Amino acid sequence: MMNIKILMAAIASLGMAAGAQAQDSPFGTDEDAAYAQAVWEVMKTQKLAGEGMIRSFPYDGVEPHGMMLETFYSSAEVNGHTGTLIVKRNFGPEGVEVDQVLADPDKHLGAYTVMFQREEGYDADNQNWFWAKYLPDGSLDMNAGGMRLAGRVAKGADAGCIACHSGAEDYIFTTDAPIAMMK
C-alpha cells in the first residue's frame, strides 16, 4: 500500500512540474490560445478563413509551409488593438499542383499560418509579432511536444517561426510594401 502512495505522489509532482513548465513557456499558454481564438474570429469576419472565404491564385511554397500557398495582408482589430494581419494558407501534400488546389482547395488545405502584429511591448525583441498555426477547422495545431502553436512560437529556439522569420526584413519574406501602407 505504501508503494502506491509513493507512486501517486511521484505522479502528482510530475504533473505539477509539467504544469509549471507549460506556464513558463513563451508560447502555447491558455492566454495565447484565447488570443489566437480572437484572431481566428477576425479572420472569419474578414473572409480570410472559414465558410465563404476569399480565394486567390496559389503559388509555389516551401517547407515548413505548404507546397502551394495563398497569402493575404490586412489590417485587423483584435481585443481593441489594430495591427497588421498576415494569413497564409498552406496547401499540400508534396507534389500538389496549382490545378489540383484550384479544383478542390478544401481537400488540399493543410493549415493556416498567421502573423499578427500586436501592441508595443508584447514582444519587442521580435517586432511584437504574435504567431499561430491553425488546422483547417480553426483549432490550433500542436508541436511534437504537444504545445499549442500560438504566441511567441519557439522564441529563443534555433528553429521555428521566430528563428526563421528573424532573417527577413520586418520578419516577412514575401513583401514589406503592404506593411508600410498599413502603419
**The three cell numbers locating residue 21:** 513548465
pLDDT (0 to 100) of residue 121: 95
Domain boundaries, the chain: 2-182
Q: What is the pTM of this model?
A: 0.81
Mean pLDDT by 10 residues, the chain (183 residues): 39 36 70 97 97 94 87 95 96 93 96 96 93 96 93 81 81 64 49
Determine phi and psi for 112, rounding to 5 degrees: -115, 130
Q: Is 162 left (phi over 0), alpha (psi -120 to 50) or beta?
A: alpha
pLDDT (0 to 100) of residue 22: 45
pLDDT (0 to 100) of residue 24: 58
